[in-house]
């Protein structure tokens, strides 16, 4: 069985241990209610395609700290990814 997952954004390294998580504008309304809760220091989980994996279907869940949010651009600390496709973003507390 093949499963096709449509990315909702992209992760780009921005230096000094930070990364930019750009959520595509098409998905901003879907994530709007969640993103409104994102404030500096919020712990988030980011599900993304693991670009370092040889397996093209591999996904990774990374915990990160929100440093800044401006609209659909999240600046986070603690994620080791660059040019990975974002599949989902959740508040870390939503899983408890």
What confidence score (pLDDT) does residue 38 get?
73
What confidence score (pLDDT) does residue 26 get?
87
Q: Say if residue 1's pLDDT is above 90.
A: no
Confidence of residue 94 (pLDDT cuts 50, 70, 90): low
3-state helix, strand, coil in the chain (%, to 5): 15, 45, 40
Instruction: Give the span between the Cα atoms of 72 and 68, in whole angstroms.
Output: 11
Q: Among 41, 24, 47, 25, which residue's Cα sits nearest to residue 75?
A: 41
What is this structure's pTM? 0.81
Task: Kindly list the structural domains of the chain, giving each domain's residue range(s) and its CATH number in brackets, ordered by start.
Answer: 9-95 (2.40.30.70)
**Model pLDDT for residues 16-75, shown as the tens digit of each residue:** 899 999 999 888 777 666 767 777 888 888 999 877 767 666 788 899 999 988 888 889
Q: Strand 18-23 and strand 43-49: pairing?
A: unpaired
Helices (H), 1-96: 28-35
What token pair was written down for 18? 């930070």
What confidence score (pLDDT) does residue 22 get?
94
What confidence score (pLDDT) does residue 64 get?
93
Confidence of residue 93 (pLDDT cuts 50, 70, 90): low
Please check whether residue 72 is in contact with residue 3, taking contact to mean a CB–CB distance below 8 angstroms: no
């Amino acid at each position: 069985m093949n499963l096709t997952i449509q990315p909702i954004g992209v992760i780009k390294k921005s230096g000094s241990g930070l990364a930019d998580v750009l959520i595509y504008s098409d998905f901003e309304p879907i994530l709007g209610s969640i993103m409104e809760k994102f404030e500096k220091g919020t712990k988030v989980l980011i599900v993304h395609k693991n670009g370092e994996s040889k397996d093209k279907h591999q996904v990774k869940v990374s915990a990160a700290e929100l440093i800044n949010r401006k609209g659909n651009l999240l600046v986070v600390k603690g994620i080791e990814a660059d040019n990975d496709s974002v599949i989902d973003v959740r508040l870390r507390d939503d899983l408890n």
